[in-house]
């Protein structure tokens, strides 16, 4: 394995770590906000089940990120590795910045935008805009689907469970833990592609190898810095009661799982924020923190463009350095 290949793998670990730090909140932020799980418990559960999701189902979406936007497997190897390296560095840097600001941005948006930006900078590879359009449509539908599912599930729970003699604190702790585990598994399966797709597309690692490395990197990110954005998801959008938290997690997890089975990279951040917004609306628009929602939506809109621009610049600078070194 050459120097560039080693750098690409390390950049994938960097993206996985950054993604784990930012997106862990999507899995257990609601449980933390509802005060049925501590931050430490949430971090451990998300780390374990995100890793399992990565290695069991992660290969489905890895192919889309690695080969579906820019066909890295069909272009010259030196160009493919440079595109992959620039894309990974750009996506990871944007997510680290967002995490420091406590904003739940999309790792999928970051990675897809970065791959497209680096591909454009190369000037010699095709961009699969039709695939990009399909992914963009899924981005729009994900928060909408999460909101609708969240509202439906929450209303059903209010009608059938809230006044039931079976409803108690122990039951809701179990339900919230299970929904958080399901979300962590679905997240790992869908989002490991954002850390490793370009690596597989450039031919450096196989899907299986990349899923293991990416899953481990995600787990490290969750354990090291995952608590930051959990607070935003858990209490920044609306005050979550236990039933609301469960409805939001279950709706978001089912949403992401569905797209994963289709091999489509979607945003778990979109899914959970949409679901939290949906359950909050059941209690009326006044229950929603509109300022927080506005900041999150603006960060979402900026993410693919920002990561694409950063990847474009990194590719041009890196290309000049590598040419000067004769690589």
pLDDT in tens, 174-190: 888 898 899 889 888 88
CB 5 within 8 A of CB 204: yes
Pick the more confident residue, 157 or 225. Answer: 157
Instruction: Please state the domain extents for the chain.
Output: 3-324
In this predicted structure, the answer to whether residue 91 has a pLDDT above a threshold of 60 is yes
Pick the more confident residue, 76 or 54. Answer: 54
Pick the more confident residue, 4 or 311. Answer: 311
Which contacts of 318-324 are long-range, i.e. CB under 8 A and separated by 24 or more positions? Answer: 318/82, 318/85, 318/86, 319/82, 319/121, 319/122, 322/4, 322/82
pLDDT at 162: 63
Q: What percent of the chain shows pLDDT beyond 70?
A: 84
Q: How many helices and strands (H and E) does the chain possess?
A: 13, 0
In this structure, what DSSP letter does residue 123 have? S
Structure tokens at 286: 């006044």
Structure tokens at 205: 């690692």
Pairwise CA distance, residues 179 & 258, whole Å: 15
Q: Percentage helix, strand, coil, to 5, in the chain?
A: 80, 0, 20
| pLDDT range class, residue 237, cuts 50, 70, 90 | low
pLDDT at 234: 54
| pLDDT range class, residue 236, cuts 50, 70, 90 | low
Tell me which of 76-85, 172-181, 294-303 is least confident.
294-303
Among residues 269, 53, 36, 20, the alpha carbon closest in space to that of 181 is found at 53
In this predicted structure, the answer to whether residue 276 has a pLDDT above a threshold of 90 is no
In this predicted structure, the answer to whether residue 321 has a pLDDT above a threshold of 60 is yes
In this predicted structure, the answer to whether residue 238 has a pLDDT above a threshold of 60 is no
**Tens digit of each residue's pLDDT (9 = 90 or more) over 38-74:** 778 888 888 889 889 888 887 767 766 655 566 666 7
**Tens digit of each residue's pLDDT (9 = 90 or more) over 23-34:** 777 777 767 777
């Amino acid at each position: 394995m050459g120097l560039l290949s080693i750098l690409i793998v390390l950049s994938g670990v960097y993206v996985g770590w950054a993604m784990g730090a930012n997106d862990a909140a999507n899995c257990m932020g609601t449980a933390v906000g509802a005060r049925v799980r501590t931050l430490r418990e949430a971090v451990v559960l998300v780390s374990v089940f995100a890793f399992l999701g990565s290695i069991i189902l992660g290969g489905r979406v890895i192919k889309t990120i690695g080969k579906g936007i820019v066909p890295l497997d069909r272009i010259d190897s030196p160009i493919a590795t440079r595109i992959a390296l620039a894309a990974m560095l750009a996506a990871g840097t944007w997510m680290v910045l967002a995490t420091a600001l406590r904003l739940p941005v999309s790792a999928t948006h970051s990675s897809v935008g970065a791959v497209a930006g680096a591909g454009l900078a190369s000037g010699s590879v095709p961009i699969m805009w039709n695939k990009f359009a399909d992914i963009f449509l899924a981005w729009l539908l994900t928060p909408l689907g999460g909101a609708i599912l969240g509202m439906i599930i929450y209303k059903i729970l209010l009608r059938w469970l809230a006044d039931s003699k079976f409803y108690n604190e122990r039951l809701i702790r179990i339900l919230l833990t299970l929904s958080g585990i399901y979300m962590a598994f679905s997240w790992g399966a869908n989002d490991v592609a954002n850390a490793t797709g370009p690596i597989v597309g450039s031919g450096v690692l196989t899907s299986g190898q990349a899923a293991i490395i990416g899953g481990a990197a995600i787990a490290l990110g969750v354990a090291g810095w995952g608590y930051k954005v959990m607070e935003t998801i858990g209490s920044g959008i609306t005050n979550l009661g236990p039933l609301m938290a469960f409805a939001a997690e279950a709706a978001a997890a089912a949403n992401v799982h569905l797209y994963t089975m289709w091999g489509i990279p979607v945003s778990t951040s979109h899914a959970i924020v949409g679901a939290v917004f949906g359950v909050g609306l059941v209690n009326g628009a006044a229950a929603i923190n509109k300022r927080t929602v506005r900041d999150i939506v603006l960060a979402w809109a900026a993410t693919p463009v920002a990561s694409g621009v950063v990847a474009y610049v990194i590719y041009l600078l890196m290309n000049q350095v590598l040419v000067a070194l004769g690589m």
